Amino acid sequence: MLQSILVLLVGFALLIKGADYLVTGSVSLARKYKVSNLVIGLTIVGFGTSAPELAVNLTSALSGSTDLAIGNIIGSNIANVFLILGICAIIYPLTVKRNTIWKEIPLSLLAAVITVVLANDVFFDGGIGSSWNVLSRIDGLVLLSFFIIFMYYIFGISKETDMDDSVEYVHLGKYKMWSYILGGLAALVIGGKWIVESAVFIAAHIGMSESVIGLTIVAVGTSLPELAASAVAAYRKETDIAVGNIVGSNIFNIFWILGLSAVISPLPLQHDAFIDLEFLVFSSLLLFIFLFVGEKEKIERRQGVLFLCIYAFYISTFWLR
């Protein structure tokens, strides 16, 4: 137990330092090649910080731990919005660009809605064609198809430039810049892996179920890279990277990671999973609505506090099920 706690602490240290290197290198990359910070946040940072979810889900799908695989993605996406964006907004109010409001955030909401529809076999078949709710291999291919469309969209906006020259950044040479990005990603992945493994061991030691572990310990653990990267970006007032990282990660998690997991091994869903899926849809919808409440196109500190309160309420519901 003591060894697991030590590994957990080392994992946190790797996450924090890795996030610092990743954000520094990513902003330098955006400036050097005249690519917008939003695109960097949606791709390099978003994809890189989703690596722990990918590792956990592939391992879970191959080993047949479907509850853990589904719970990890649903729980991570909920934590990304309510926990991580809540913390980031408290650190520094997050200004959200119009393109993100009307395209990326609705796409993340669409991803959640599509997952609910694809998984709800019993409801749509009326109990005739299927007696179980499952994300089949065909469903996985549908999700992967949406991922390809999303990457095509990213390629299109990568030609646009919306850089803020008033924001200070560290100028890095070509090799140092890439060493920062790759080294930061490696530290995030390793740190996230160590944290998850240690947390799962500790949780299992005190008798928690696999689904609860997936939705809480593993979900929050694999979201720690997003938290570290977005928190550092928010502290540096790089709100495009902070928001783009979260929105990009949520889209990647469903269309890419959950889709690939379902292709590898069909994922049956327990009845309680739909409560969490509905909460996931609610999180994306509330994020969209909040951008028109109070100061428009901005997530304010008070809204960040409310996000954290909602997440605390969500976690408390596990004791009522």
pLDDT tens readout for residues 57-111: 877 777 777 777 888 899 999 999 999 999 999 999 998 888 788 888 999 999 9
Task: State the pLDDT at residue 127.
Answer: 53
Specify whether the backbone of 294 is left (phi greater than 0), alpha (psi in -120 to 50) or beta. Answer: left
Which three-class secondary structure state does DSSP give residue 129? Answer: coil
CB contact at 8 A, 273 and 70: yes
More confident residue, 201 or 102: 102
- What integer is the mean pLDDT of 131-143? 89
- 52-61, 83-92, 120-129, 217-226, range with greatest mean pLDDT: 83-92
Burial tier of 311 (Cβ tally within 10 Å: 0-12, 13-18, 19+): buried
- For residue 63, how many other CB atoms are within 10 A of its CB? 11
Evaluate if residue 245 carries a pLDDT over 90. Answer: no
Mean pLDDT for the chain overall: 82
For 38-163+208-319, which CATH class? Answer: mainly alpha
CB contact at 8 A, 256 and 144: yes
C-alpha to C-alpha distances, 203 to 53, 211, 218, 270, 272, nearest whole angstrom:
18, 12, 10, 21, 20
H-type alpha helices, 120-238: 121-125, 137-157, 174-205, 210-213, 219-235
Task: State the pLDDT at residue 45.
Answer: 66
Evaluate if residue 44 carries a pLDDT over 50. Answer: yes
Give rounded-to-5 percent helix, strand, coil for the chain: 80, 0, 20
pTM of this prediction exceeds 0.85: no
Which three-class secondary structure state does DSSP give residue 238? Answer: coil
pLDDT band per the 50, 70, 90 thresholds, residue 167: very low
pLDDT band per the 50, 70, 90 thresholds, residue 280: very high
Domain positions in the chain are 38-163+208-319
Task: State the pLDDT at residue 22.
Answer: 80
Residue 302 to residue 299: CA distance in whole angstroms: 8
Evaluate if residue 304 carries a pLDDT over 60. Answer: yes
pLDDT band per the 50, 70, 90 thresholds, residue 31: confident
